[in-house]
Amino acid sequence: MNIPISYQWLKSHFEKDLPAPGTGARQANIPSPEEVSALFMQHLCEVEGVEQRGGDTIFDLKIMPDRGHDLLAHRGIAREISVLSGMPMKSAEAKKKSAPRDITTLRVSVADMKLCPRYMGRVVENVKVGESPAWLRERLESVGGRSINNIVDITNYVMLELGQPMHVFDRGKLVREKDGAVEIVVRNAKQNETITTLDGKEIVLSPETLVIADSARPLAIAGIKGGKDVGVDETTTAIVLEAANFSAVNTRKTSARVGIRTDSSRRFEHDLSPMLAEEAMTLATELLLEMCPDAQMGKVVDVYPLPKERKEIIITTADINGILGSKLSDDEVEGVLKRLSFEYHKDGEMFVVTPPAIRLDLVIVEDMVEEIGRVYGYDKIIDAPLPALAFNARPLKAYYSANMIRDVLVAQGFSEVYTYSFQNTGEFAVVNPVAEDKGFLRKDLGTGIGQALVLNMRNAPLLGLDEIKIFEIGKVFPGVMEEKLSCAIGVEFIKATKKKDALVRTALEEAQKVLSETLGVPVAGVFTGNIFEFDLGALLEKLPEINVREEFHAVTARYQKPSAYPFVLRDIALWVPDGVTSDEVLAVISADAGNLLRTKRLFDVFTKEFPEGKKTSYAFSLVFQSNDKTLSDDEVNGIMERITTALHAHTEWQVR
């Protein structure tokens, strides 16, 4: 939230001049506007603008949400200047007080303390509404406000000074009870109740809206806007002064619902301490007596049944240095706490700190460490190199090998799926099932893969697929306290033919074969219909350890600009004797295709019996592209002829 802050207003919180340390000479009471701006930027918040207005300097400060509790006001900002500059704030002056009198009785009731944790009210009689003194008008106008009358101006001034919104009602316009008392009720609005706000806007209220009401009607939308019917004007002689605390969440929701955002609602949305209400009531009372010396003060009615307790935060210097990377001493930590005026005591190596009630952002150790680092100055923390690792990093074999299997299967046209670890039947029930049909642990992946095949078969026409090829890598639970890593592969063809089962088996066996060749160990598993599943955990134990340097540092990756020219697609298929792998064929193709071959993909594999023996058919998709020009058909045909010649050089290989 951005707020305007007046430099001259800030100066009023400090003595006019102070003795300079060690010299006795007098010095300015606070740093110059330029120095203040630098302090803000380095330790507190962003300064989004600095404007000279009359004889004043106005800072446009961006206050982050975590400091909205205490910095949306001049006193909070002045407090920070004192902490950061070391210049003490002016001691509070003794103000004129008026003993509370037994005047009009005020009764207050709050329906929901969660929505209104604290409500303070006071009747003030014999007030005289008029023009505010020049100093008050100047302060309001310096930050973009305008003077209305002395009574309303006091409440606006208190909000800008302390950050606590206030409201004031004309007591003469409120409903009086039979005994003459004024009754204030903080409640939710009734369905379709209406209120006309101070700016003349009529609002239809809903039951979710919190209102301040008397016994007859709503007087204000809590924390947002007052009602026109009970506003203070030149005829007012008695008022009800309000200082309350409202729920941040409810205020934000209500503000959005009624379409009204005010300086008051913005502050309540940032969650204020209930203690601010008491400070605000005291300051407003002092100002009223200053401007209306003959005013008669009623007793303060304070509805605050559940006071918030201030919680202690225990930190040590080791905590601070460990998190910040600093080398602060106990004395330096203690010095920062004193500058902050935080209550604390030492218990051995521990600092037991009680943050002020208004600092709702300080809750855990890390909050306090951040606060100490902020005030001490992050720029004073010396950079230090990170310590070297005490061990050699090694890749996780299971992770690396599982990814290798994924790459192999994806290259063969398989898609990875994730199925539920829970099923509707099984041997091992779950104590707290996620759903009624998922109450048992799975003992294999095959069941889930089978269900996924059926589901995908239904959608195959939509996806334009002739076959479904899927796999899953995951944990299974075959026995009591037993957990294994498994891999399952599933294949299904859309068209039902007599050779369908054979085609499925061939595709699964080919996947098994390629995996065995890639991993360098036999991949043994169980074939069940159109699913092949194997124990990946047992397989991993057979795999050699990974040489990090050899695997990861041997290849230097370089960026290659994509070609702007079109590619040309060609397919080639051939028969090879059983035992010849697709990688062997691709090696021959790559060697003779040259650098115009950009990608190559195996898209079809099957095995067939011939009189001379079993043969395997491989079909590859080849993509050609140049970085310099558009390839012609003649150029690509020439490359394909070279590839065919190279393949025929292997006497038992036959291009189809």
CATH of the domain at 337: 3.30.56.10
Residue 385 located in a structural domain: no
The predicted-structure confidence for 48-57, as pLDDT tens digits, reads as follows 999 998 889 9
Domains in the chain: how many in total? 5
Q: Is residue 103's pLDDT more than 80?
A: no
**pLDDT-based confidence at residue 391 (cuts at 50, 70, 90):** low
Please tell me the distance from the alpha carbon of residue 588 to that of residue 534, in angstroms, as a whole number: 32
Q: Tell me the helices (H) and strands (E) count for the chain, helix number first.
A: 18, 31
81 shares its domain with 7? yes
Residue 296 located in a structural domain: yes
Q: Which domain holds residue 355?
A: 313-380
Last residue of a domain, one of 324, 350, 380: 380
pLDDT of residue 395: 65
520 shares its domain with 442? yes
Residue 220 located in a structural domain: yes
Q: Is residue 210's pLDDT more than 80?
A: yes
Residue 386 located in a structural domain: no
Q: Which of 164-178, 423-437, 514-528, 630-644 has the lowest mean pLDDT?
A: 423-437
Last residue of a domain, one of 33, 55, 85: 85
488 shares its domain with 634? no
120 shares its domain with 264? yes
Residue 557 located in a structural domain: no
Residue 515 located in a structural domain: yes
607 shares its domain with 520? no
Tell me the pTM. Answer: 0.64
The predicted-structure confidence for 140-158, as pLDDT tens digits, reads as follows 999 999 999 999 999 999 9
Residue 430 located in a structural domain: yes
Q: Which of 158-167, 319-328, 557-566 has the lowest mean pLDDT?
A: 557-566
295 shares its domain with 365? no
**pLDDT-based confidence at residue 508 (cuts at 50, 70, 90):** very high
428 shares its domain with 481? yes
Which helix (H) or strand (E) segment holds residue 635: the answer is helix 633-648
The DSSP bridge pattern shows strands 225-226 and 218-221 to be antiparallel
pLDDT of residue 265: 96
Averaged confidence pLDDT in the chain: 90
Burial class (CB in 10 A: 0-12, 13-18, 19+), 420: middle
Last residue of a domain, one of 303, 332, 347: 303
pLDDT of residue 27: 53
**pLDDT-based confidence at residue 528 (cuts at 50, 70, 90):** very high
238 shares its domain with 171? yes
165 shares its domain with 267? yes
pLDDT of residue 17: 64
271 shares its domain with 407? no
pLDDT of residue 180: 85
- The CATH number linked to 586 is 3.30.70.380
The predicted-structure confidence for 172-186, as pLDDT tens digits, reads as follows 999 998 888 999 999
Q: Is residue 434's pLDDT more than 70?
A: yes
186 shares its domain with 272? yes
251 shares its domain with 138? yes
- Does residue 204 contact residue 189 with C-beta atoms inside 8 Å? no
Residues of the chain above pLDDT 90, percent: 71
The predicted-structure confidence for 325-339, as pLDDT tens digits, reads as follows 999 999 999 999 999
Average pLDDT of span 24-47:
84
Please tell me the distance from the alpha carbon of residue 354 to that of residue 344, in angstroms, as a whole number: 6
φ and ψ at residue 655, rounded to 5 degrees:
-75, 130
Q: How many CB atoms lie within 10 A of CB 643?
A: 23
Residue 347: strand pairing partners: 350
